[in-house]
Amino acid sequence: MADEKPRRRRREGEQGGSSDGKERRSTRRRSGAQLAQRARRELSEITGLDAESVTSLERVDDGSWKVTVELLELSRIPETDDMLGSYEVELDETGELLGYRRLRRYTRSQAGEEQGVQGGAPGGK
């Protein structure tokens, strides 16, 4: 047993699992573009829907991020009748998904209209 090599100790920061078997999270800060892409990809993966676009990115006071992603919920012909959903995705400071919720659902032809706003002339005439 004299030929046996001593076990090499892992240095702090080396990749690999921790002693409890959990992977260590990266504490590296991500750019806004990376956070938006991650939110888009994860939401699409969870829901099984195609992500159309990211429409907002906001840093919250606690260091987390809120990202609004538009998903294609139902494809129709013509495309102006497609059903889209606007989803808010919450990420922690490292970009890990904390949660998501649908804010509104609308047809593509109503994409520019705010929720609850009806068409018509200004002043209600």
* Domains, the chain, with CATH or none: 32-111 (3.10.450.630)
Report the distance separating Cα 33 and Cα 2, nearest Å. Answer: 54
- pLDDT given for residue 117 in this prediction: 40
Neighbours of 45 (CB within 10 A): 11
Q: In whole numbers, what is the pLDDT of the chain averaged over residues?
A: 80
- pLDDT given for residue 22 in this prediction: 44
CB-hemisphere CA count at 13 Å for 1?
1
CB 72 within 8 A of CB 81: no
pLDDT tens, residue by residue, 10-62: 444 444 444 444 444 556 778 999 999 999 999 999 999 999 999 999 999 99
Report in angstroms the alpha-carbon separations of 99 from 64, 89, 114. 11, 6, 23
